[in-house]
Structure 1
Amino acid sequence: MSPEPSSAHRDAPSASAKPRRSRTTRALVALALAFATALASGPAMADARTEARRHFRAGMELISKGKYDEGIKELELANEILPHPNVLFNIARAHAEAGNLEQAINAYKQYVASDPPDRAESAQILKQLEEKLALQRAEQAKATEPPKTGDGVASPGDTKPGDTKPGDTKPGDTKPGDTKPGDTSAGDTKPGDTSAGDTKPGDEQAQADVNKIVGKARDEDVYRETVITASRGAQSPLDSPNSTTIITRQDIRLSGITRIPELLRRVPGMDVMQITGGDTNVSMRGFNSRLANKLLVLINGQRPAYNDILGSTFWETLSIDVDQIERIEVVRGPGSALYGANAFAGVVNIITIAPGEGRTGFRVGYGDTGQGYGSAWATGRDGDFGYRASVGYTRYPRWTREVQNGRQDITVFDPNQNLGAENLRVDIRMSQRFKNNRELQIGGGFARSDFDVYGIGPFNDYRARFDNSDITALFRTENFSARVFYTRIAAQTSSNHDYYGHTLFPSQANQNVVDAELNFYKDVTWPRSVEHSLRGGAAYRMKSITWTYLRDDTPLEHWGSLFLQDTLRFGKSVQLVVSGRADYVPYLQNVKVSPRGSLIIKPTELQSIRVSGSTAFRNTTFLESYLDLPIQLQLPGVELISASQRYEDPAFRLRPESIITAEASYLNQMSDRFEFEATAYYNRITDLIQLAGERPLTLSNRADGLGGLNPETGRYTVGFGGWLNRCDIQNVFGGEVGTRVYPVEGLDIFANYALNLSSQELPDGCTQPTDQRTSRHKINAGVQLRTKPGIDGEITFHYQSAQNWGEQVSTLSGIRVQYFDVPGYALLNGRIGYRFPIAGTTGEVSLVVYNALAGLADEAPQMHPFGNRVGRRVMGYFQHTL
């Protein structure tokens, strides 16, 4: 079924629309009933990490008090909910401490079989315990041997004259159960005797030997939530110098969402804008736009997912899908102090499941209007070698069509006008562990994608075909890491459609980037009362880019950077984080410095108050730095040269966009039943980059040899365009409040609210128009459910208030700003799934509804004035995990 045409081309509604609505309504009713059934179907399980953490902490406390049986049961429950190698280790160690060597050996075997980093050391512990058990058994066997008599050994059952047979009694003997005065009954002890279970001489030494073999317990909270992006190292969110949100693997699975940007919508303060079936733009705390370029997107903290040509992220070109993601960390606020240019508004770090982790499986899905999803992955470990390989396919149709079939006055780039995005991908990652906590990781990925996006200026419906590939290598030790990666993009691009006689601006683009980075990390104490966590590094980045739209002599850019961060801890309650980075920017031929400072005060171990300030910048993209494109105007035979370099002003250079931010936040994780966070921030933004208005050709320009007839296009140049830095200053005040609650086992509720208030300063002579493209109010809320019978799912609600966009458009008189009102909208998404066993493996079926409210009351929402109306989608999935 083809998507509906957009409002500009849509025919009158047909009668066939009603049955479609009724079918979807029935699906929604079924979804609601399934949730109600699940709530009443039996015991449920709470958030996996939270529940496992509760049992782990209880178990370790019981073991510390010597209550081994109860403590081991708690640890076994934690490991059943969310397996972790360190829990197995502690179970094995507790058995050994309790003197249960057989159970300890079995648990250690399970731990060693999980291929932990200390497998060799643990195998040695296992060997020593097995020798200890063998020695104990030999001593017990020796102690039970019958005594020797005379020259021979008395055999069981032999008797001599006068002996009594078993069961016989003589006068005066006592029968079983009888006692004489002064005798002790079974179980009683006389002075100096030892009863069963008491420690005999030598037993204490034997137990001490066992304790020495197994070493100390691993009592660190293995289920504690940690983040790595804000400081480039694992830490609690309570110690993070920036506000950070984590989207867990459980969130991803229960949502059923396969688009990464839609997963990000639940993050407080995140701006997510769906424009076409293949184009989603994401920003943080405002300033979203077509080809959004204010957010740095990383994969495993290493390779950027954005493209250096435009500075934007094309989410549908990645070589990974949501089934390969362990979690997504979002740093809410500037990150240039650690990550340099383009970490302007925040950082999104997509962390994939490590090689050798998880289970092998596949998932397939199909939905209305021709949606398709497929993903298969294989993972395994052989000793210190681990691997993970995945393949996948995704197809999303357009929400609405731009061009109806049969148009005789329109030429199109691709005859398939129903396709929004299509992606065929493969990704392979491997790791090899060595002694002394050293590890080597290598891997690569490839994706072939076809999608439509909304560009800038006249490029409102743009088609791109991408081949995106990467090769990555990482070597790390306890205090050092080195990585290098290579990425390549080969693309064919064009306007999707235009009237006959107008060019579609077809182009070829090639991007080759090599990135190398060295990092060190060290904890020191100096002076005696101050602890330091030092992190630093150096990076080099080479960019080679060619594109039809750029000038012919586009240079090869060589970037260099240095960064350093010190976390100073003054006791247990106060931390000071000082960070700074210096980046050499080839376009500017200058160095940009980005500092950050954060003061963290912890009234208790699980509360923190943070005050921070930082600066960040977004450098010009290759498009903004080296553009040289003749733009055909609506008047026949004439054109405008849009170029970054001003031929009449060779000294002209664009300045990087700059932001200064201040932030204060409070985070409370004191209870296993809830957590709460409140954040307030202020951003001051200058030098925003936008398309410049046209500069008409003058007689002076002609005298200097500029303009005139362009022999390459056959059109006459009448003016110049390009880019400029806006003269206004943007002041943004905002706040975010969020909570996650676990009221009863099986029910996980989250909600957050974001407020964004902006104002504009206009210096003397500045006439920059303004707009309100960021919703003042954003609300996210959701409910997750997990049950022991296998029924689980999620319902999420999202709301954004109205916006007013000032968009640059091409008119007969040049590029002008026009204003468009975009009403507020709400989204309701839901998923219901059922897991069931299949011959020792796990199967799962699920139904996902996206934007369930679309068309039920008002028109489907439109998130951008030029974008498609985003309708309802229903999709079913089957997953099999080995």
Structure 2
Amino acid sequence: MPILQYSARRLLALLLPAVAIPVSGAAHAATSETAYLDDLPVVLSASRLSQAQADAPGAVSIIDRPMIVASGARNINELFRFVPGFQVAMHTGNQPLVSYHGLSDEAPRRMLVQVDGRSVYSPYFIAGVEWNQLGVDIDDIERIEVFRGSNSAAYGSNAFLGVANIITRAPSETLGTRVRYRAGSEGVNDIGVRVGKQLGDVDLRLTAARNYDRGFSDINDGRRYELATLRADWASNRVDQFEFQAGWTRNALGIGKDNNLTDPERDSSIGTGFGLLRWRHAPAPDEELSVTYYHQEESGHDSFSANVPIPPAQSRLPLTINIPLQIDYGFKAVRDDIEIQRIAHPGDTLRTVIGAGARVDQIHAPLRFNTDETMRVAVNHLFGTVEWRASPRWLFNAGAMLENNALTGTSLAPRLSANYHMTEAQTWRLTANRSYRSPMAFEQKSSMIFVNSAPIATPRFTIPTGTPISQTFRPSPDLRAERITTYELGYLADLRSLASTFDARLFLERARDLIEMRLENSTVGLLPRDNTRYFANSGRADIRGLELTATWRPAPATWLSAQHTELRIDGPGEAATATAANPSGWVEYSAPRHSSALFGAWQFHPRWQISAAQTWVGSMSWYQDGAHRVASYRQLDLRLAHRLPPALARGDIAITAQNIDGVDQTYSPRTSAWGSRVFCTLGLEF
């Protein structure tokens, strides 16, 4: 089947004429880097170098501050609906899912997310990113840079399919006090306070927030989210800057199912605390030495009692027994990470970045790993990038990451790219890279064996406390790192005279040794199981597609952006009916073949703005068989905002209506539906 269907052809027919308009000044002037970057969109996350978006070694999408505000989003995960190639869903009302190019189940783990360079890729369970635990308030975000594609060469093994770097606002830009209150349907009740101060050479920001809602209407999935963060920036002199961040989050979550003995409705909680210290030494515009250290602790609390009756047909015993269980999914994970980085400009046409880092994760989760001992996983890495401007038209970028992971050994992730500036406004890009994803500790070492919490007395015998009852996960010691090889052809046009940009990415991603959950028979415990889980490198996928984005932005607060993605994922060619034995047959369903979005805002009066976002998502399944495929759905959000008159108060008020065009299932047709939600937000400044 051709990769471009009618919908993509129609969008191309509308957009390409604008791109083909002649642009004057075909030849570049040989200028310094500073002059070259003037008035061009600049990104920081693609290669660890500050560079024009047209010079990046891959496709980068930017969600800036005005877009974040106009979206009306309460939660950061919602913003990725506006990035091509992404899938965003709600497993439950308090469990968001975000994935790029599929290959994800209810615990997406193939994308790296950072907050000001601090990785929030969690080490303790299956999920790679806990979106409820990012440790940043959405009002403190300056922009989000999304590198669409694998980028282990710059950020290591977790950057398997993409990287999102959340960049917060400098405290100097948030001086004063702001209070936010939000209320609406489904129990939405949020409050936030931000205080910014300048104390001599130090700029400070303190943010505290609490968000609450009841989740979906028919299940126990309410959420109360609490956050407190501090950031302090100190310029000790003209070349040295220090940055300190600290934060604390706590989520109280409703989980479980009604009338389920082994997974009852209950409350759980998860909390995170972190501290970050960064020193930057920049003696010249193109020279910088930085050292970053952060310490992070996560802990979860989820325990309950159960008394489960087991008939003879399910056990090895001749009579029905009641098994008392005390189940405790609690855990604690501690991370220490330090990294040093040097940016240099050894010549007029060369820029380099080199660095090294070390990370240690310590995980204590007795039930998940069947041990009271603390598990230690160390990761060390070396990285480097060279950018060479060979001529005014040609720019080359080469980078690599050498990483040693205690679970899988050493890997080398290289990247090569060439950017051809056809004119001052139009750039072609060709990129090839290899990336890896090391297994998480749970994937390789999980061993979940449930035991009875009290003696089980029968007329014939007594089963002592601590007897193994059943095993749900067993270790997978032979897991290797996943690998993906990516080839990309990109095109970027920045048409200043039309206030428009156009971005196209054509790609082929070959993923091998994908880690998948498998099932087997187990004889461990009194209850034999035919669905004990383990992990194996049994998956493979070839991902082909095209991503298109066109934006018209005549003013910072007025724009219209259109995007479309065509995606095809081919697995090993096995029937989906056999996926219980080999799940990799499901990969073809794990992303929609077609998805589109429109996102626009109009400031029709100096104090009024209206914005709208419409998305269309094709049928897909979150790494499950065809019976679990979600039907195509769409979502329409509207927002009307008013800046209050100074005579009344400094601030703004907005009303947001989300998903107003219907009720949809975004994770599975068997789960609860995501319905409409309306809320009002008031912000006051002092």
Query: Which bracket does the TM-score occupy, shorter chain normalised?
Result: 0.7 to 0.9
Equivalent residues of 2:443, 2:535 under 8 A apart: no
Deviation, 1:459, is 7.5
Deviation, 1:381, is 2.4
Counterparts of 1:111-130 in structure 2, within 5 Å, are: none
Q: Which moved more, 1:282-291 or 1:466-475?
A: 282-291
Question: Quick one: which of 658, 665, 677 aligns to 2:490?
Answer: 665
- 1:657 maps to amino acid: E
What corresponds to 1:421 in structure 2?
A: 223
Mark the structure with the bigger radius of gyration: 1
- 2:515 maps to amino acid: I
Q: List alignment gaps of at least 5 residues for structure 1.
A: 1-217, 403-416, 647-651, 698-706, 808-816
Task: Look up the SS of the partner of 1:838 in the other structure.
Answer: coil
- Alignment CA distance shift 1:326-1:287 (3 Å): same
User: C-alpha separation between the residues in 1 aligned to 2:327 and 2:443?
Assistant: 18
Question: Quick one: which of 605, 610, 616 aligns to 2:424?
Answer: 605
Task: Look up the SS of the partner of 1:831 in the other structure.
Answer: strand
Equivalent residues of 1:600, 1:609 under 8 A apart: yes
Question: Quick one: which of 506, 530, 539 aligns to 2:328?
Answer: 506
What corresponds to 2:107 in structure 1?
A: 291
Task: Look up the SS of the partner of 2:302 in the other structure.
Answer: strand
User: C-alpha separation between the residues in 2 aligned to 1:741 and 1:498?
Assistant: 61
Instruction: State the TM-score, normalizing by the size of structure 1.
Output: 0.65
Equivalent residues of 1:643, 1:720 under 8 A apart: no
Question: Quick one: which of 311, 316, 325 aligns to 2:132?
Answer: 316
User: C-alpha separation between the residues in 1 aligned to 2:658 and 2:326?
Assistant: 34
What corresponds to 1:730 in structure 2?
A: 541
User: C-alpha separation between the residues in 2 aligned to 1:341 and 1:524?
Assistant: 29
Instruction: State the TM-score, normalizing by the size of structure 2.
Output: 0.83
What corresponds to 2:475 in structure 1?
A: 645
Deviation, 1:358, is 2.5
Say if 2:434 is the partner of 1:615.
Answer: yes
Say if 2:564 is the partner of 1:753.
Answer: yes
What corresponds to 1:44 in structure 2?
A: none
Deviations 1:733-769 (A, max 9, x none): 0110110013689641100000111112359x99735
Deviation, 1:385, is 1.2
Task: Look up the SS of the partner of 1:310 in the other structure.
Answer: coil
Equivalent residues of 2:482, 2:537 under 8 A apart: no
- Percentage identity across aligned positions? 21
Say if 2:566 is the partner of 1:566.
Answer: no
User: C-alpha separation between the residues in 2 aligned to 1:621 and 1:437?
Assistant: 39
Counterparts of 1:98-137 in structure 2, within 5 Å, are: none
- Alignment CA distance shift 1:316-1:745 (3 Å): closer
- Alignment CA distance shift 1:632-1:768 (3 Å): farther
Equivalent residues of 2:68, 2:79 under 8 A apart: yes
Deviation, 1:718, is 6.1
Counterparts of 1:760-799 in structure 2, within 5 Å, are: 760-761=571-572, 768-769=582-583, 770-771=585-586, 772-799=589-616
Aligned residue pairs, count: 608
Deviations 1:521-571 (A, max 9, x none): 00112xxxx721100100010111011211324532222110011011112
Counterparts of 1:118-517 in structure 2, within 5 Å, are: 224-304=40-120, 306-360=122-176, 361-402=178-219, 417=220, 419-452=221-254, 464-478=268-282, 479-493=288-302, 503=325, 505-517=327-339
- 2:503 maps to amino acid: E
Deviation, 1:397, is 1.6
- 1:568 maps to amino acid: W
Task: Look up the SS of the partner of 1:261 in the other structure.
Answer: helix
Deviation, 1:462, is 8.7
User: C-alpha separation between the residues in 1 aligned to 2:255 and 2:501?
Assistant: 39
Deviations 1:349-376 (A, max 9, x none): 1111112223431211001121111111
User: C-alpha separation between the residues in 2 aligned to 1:504 and 1:254?
Assistant: 47
Task: Look up the SS of the partner of 2:355 in the other structure.
Answer: strand
- 2:52 maps to amino acid: S
User: C-alpha separation between the residues in 2 aligned to 1:592 and 1:425?
Assistant: 37
Deviations 1:860-879 (A, max 9, x none): 33433453200000000111
Deviation, 1:643, is 4.4
Q: Which moved more, 1:446-455 or 1:672-681?
A: 446-455
- Alignment CA distance shift 1:267-1:460 (3 Å): farther
- 1:485 maps to amino acid: Y
Task: Look up the SS of the partner of 2:227 in the other structure.
Answer: strand
User: C-alpha separation between the residues in 2 aligned to 1:774 and 1:450?
Assistant: 31
What corresponds to 2:680 in structure 1?
A: 876
Task: Look up the SS of the partner of 1:282 in the other structure.
Answer: strand
What corresponds to 1:686 in structure 2?
A: 512
Deviation, 1:854, is 1.5
Equivalent residues of 1:726, 1:768 under 8 A apart: no
Deviation, 1:219, is 7.3
Equivalent residues of 1:515, 1:542 under 8 A apart: yes
Deviation, 1:454, is 9.2
- Alignment CA distance shift 1:272-1:538 (3 Å): same
Question: Quick one: which of 369, 374, 379 aligns to 1:550?
Answer: 369
Counterparts of 1:708-857 in structure 2, within 5 Å, are: 715=526, 721-742=532-553, 747-761=558-572, 768-769=582-583, 770-771=585-586, 772-804=589-621, 807=624, 819-839=627-647, 842-855=650-663
- 2:379 maps to amino acid: W
Equivalent residues of 2:488, 2:505 under 8 A apart: yes
Equivalent residues of 1:738, 1:751 under 8 A apart: yes
Equivalent residues of 2:418, 2:430 under 8 A apart: yes
Task: Look up the SS of the partner of 1:563 in the other structure.
Answer: strand
- 1:545 maps to amino acid: I
- Alignment CA distance shift 1:571-1:276 (3 Å): same
What corresponds to 1:138 in structure 2?
A: none
User: C-alpha separation between the residues in 2 aligned to 1:676 and 1:497?
Assistant: 57
Q: List alignment gaps of at least 5 residues for structure 2.
A: 1-33, 283-287, 310-321, 453-462
Deviation, 1:289, is 1.7
Deviations 1:53-88 (A, max 9, x none): xxxxxxxxxxxxxxxxxxxxxxxxxxxxxxxxxxxx
Say if 2:404 is the partner of 1:576.
Answer: no
Deviation, 1:258, is 1.2
Structure with more strand by fraction: 2
What corresponds to 1:594 in structure 2?
A: 413
What corresponds to 2:30 in structure 1?
A: none
Equivalent residues of 1:294, 1:345 under 8 A apart: yes
- 1:466 maps to amino acid: I
- Alignment CA distance shift 1:308-1:506 (3 Å): closer
RMSD: 3.0
User: C-alpha separation between the residues in 1 aligned to 2:39 and 2:433?
Assistant: 31
- Alignment CA distance shift 1:454-1:724 (3 Å): farther
Equivalent residues of 1:523, 1:534 under 8 A apart: yes
Q: Which moved more, 1:274-283 or 1:683-692?
A: 683-692
Equivalent residues of 1:793, 1:830 under 8 A apart: yes
Deviation, 1:839, is 4.8
- 1:619 maps to amino acid: S
User: C-alpha separation between the residues in 1 aligned to 2:256 and 2:423?
Assistant: 49
User: C-alpha separation between the residues in 2 aligned to 1:460 and 1:238?
Assistant: 53
- Alignment CA distance shift 1:467-1:744 (3 Å): closer
- 1:385 maps to amino acid: V
User: C-alpha separation between the residues in 1 aligned to 2:539 and 2:531?
Assistant: 23
